[in-house]
Amino acid sequence: MKTEARGHGGTEAREGNGNGDRRRRLALVASKGSLDGAYPPLILAATAASLGWEVGIFFTFYGLDILHKKRHKKLKVAPVGNPAMPVPVPNIVGVLPGMTAAATAMMKGWMKRSNLPDVPGFLELARESGVKLYACSTTMGVMGIKEKDLVPGADIAGATAFLDFAADADVSLFI
């Protein structure tokens, strides 16, 4: 039962899953603004929501680009300093014009061939599953990002609101 109004529901009593115990909770920090950095938190969030868990993601610093309506369509894979490219790309080659675009196109191709949604698609799926999307207000201030720049459903919040949610998490990951 809710005893008082709270901004983001951190300490309010949690809805049970009908099995006599509270729902599990996943708290993620998404801190990376690259294409390869965007998928893991979105995949984990969609999975946890499918398991009936409560999920919140705090998008902070470059990770906030995942919630950015324009930028999240243009997230990229960096070939420089990335030793995991399928064909090894020496850093001195990775800096050449077009290499980032090539690495990005390659990953987008993998995802498409595997029938996996793109980043906007995963966000839509997360939102439909009730995942809370916390947009870091400090990042918005520092980077000059406005609420209208973000996908609908993003909750602007500071670290305090997220920690209030994360304090009761069963699993917390920084990605």
Which amino acid is it at 149? D
Q: Taking CB under 8 A as the rule, does residue 53 contact other proteins? A: yes
Contact 129, 49 (CB under 8 A): yes
Our finding on whether 7 is near other proteins (CB under 8 A) is no
Q: In the complex, what is the shortest distance from the CB of residue 44 to other proteins, in angstroms, rounded to a whole number?
A: 8
- The sign one gets for the Cα dihedral 126, 172, 22, 4 is negative
Among 125, 143, 159, 173, binds other proteins (CB under 8 A): 125
Burial class (CB in 10 A: 0-12, 13-18, 19+), 51: exposed
CB 15 within 8 A of CB 23: yes
Q: In this chain, which of 46, 55, 57, 169 binds other proteins, going by CB under 8 A?
A: 46
Of 27 and 145, CB closest to other proteins: 27
Residues that bind other proteins (CB under 8 A): 17-19, 24, 43, 46-47, 49-53, 114-116, 125, 129
